[in-house]
Amino acid sequence: MQKVFLIICMVFLCFCALAQADPAACPVRDGDQWSPGLTPKAFVRKLILRNPGFSLAAQQRIALEIKSHTYWCDNFDEIAERVRQAYQERGYFKALIGSPMVRVIQGDTRRKLIDVTISVDKGQLYRLKDISFTRITVFPEAELRRQFPMSAGDIFNTGKIHIGLENTRKLYGARGYIDFTPVPDTKIDDDANLVSLIIDVDEGPQFHYGKLTVDGEESKPGARATLLKAWQAYEGKPCNDDGLALKDFLRDIHAAPSVKFGEVFRVFHDEKSALLNFQITLAKPPEGLLVHPIAARAQPSAIHH
């Protein structure tokens, strides 16, 4: 569900679109992975905005934002998209961003250090008119509206819209609506430079905790029965997508503090019954098990009972 949500947000940002250092060598950042056959990675040394329409200080802040990311040398358009996002977060909803002109300063087959020049037509400054929701039943509109850190008349900031969408996802997820999907759309008043945001809501079903299955060998007699008895307090309750109940369950069975719920639960997403069923293996299960996004992405391991 997280992937679907992020894809929707990226589609929204795409729809919206109609500083300097002299390092001695190409930087290598933490987590920078490369292998033979891959396209070289690029690191921006200098960003030049033509006709930026901003103060030097604001340009430098945008440059810092752009330079904080790593890019692939076959996709410099990502740099332009990030510049467009920076303008949209500052209220220039229809900013026109040119194709990046790239000059390689130095590098090798793995990494390139580049200077980038981009032409900008920032257009008009837009402000928020209102935010409305369709097809909502679980929460009142006023509560959903409070999830967005913007008031009518504020500069229309797409970054804050993203925060509001994420806040609504968490709000629904805490009630068990883990398939909740918001689809944002905009209505633009070019004469008044105002933007209305309309969010079509697919709430999805409310999921509950289902059955727990305990597999594997007991390290002591009665371990399986103890786990199943403890689970009775959770079965049938609305689930939440932050795993809070699963953490409480581990506390109830006196699991070691180092044990993480994503390491011990295998989750089965039953769409038809709107249930999340769980499995615990007392011995280490096979490698490579797939888990639902509700669980942390970690290798399963054993609970020793």
DSSP for 7-48 reads: HHHHHHHHHH---B---SS----TT----TTSPPEEEEEEEE
pLDDT at 302: 39
| pLDDT band, residue 244 (cuts 50/70/90) | confident
For residue 243, the model assigns a pLDDT of 75
Phi then psi for residue 107, to 5 deg, are: 155, -175
Q: Which tens digits make up the pLDDT trace of 192-234?
A: 999 999 999 999 999 999 999 999 888 788 888 999 999 999 9
Return the DSSP state at 69: S
The pTM score is 0.76
**CA pair distance 152, 156, nearest whole angstrom:** 9
Q: What is the pLDDT of residue 254?
A: 84
Please tell me the total number of residues recorded for the chain in this structure.
Answer: 305
Helix (H, G, I), strand (E, B) or coil at 149: coil
Angle at 71 between CA 105 and CA 86, to 5 degrees: 105
pLDDT above 90 (res 265): no
* Separation of CA 14 from chain center: 16
Q: In what order do the strands lie in the sheet with 194-202?
A: 127-134, 194-202, 181-189
| pLDDT number for residue 138 | 97
Mean of pLDDT over the chain? 84
Task: Let me know: does 49 contact 59? Beta carbons within 8 Å.
Answer: yes
Amino acid identity of residue 127, one-letter, is R
Return all residues near 189 (Cβ < 8 A) that are at least 6 apart: 129, 195, 196
Per-residue pLDDT, averaged over 118-141, amounts to 98
Backbone angles phi, psi at 119, to 5 degrees: -85, 145
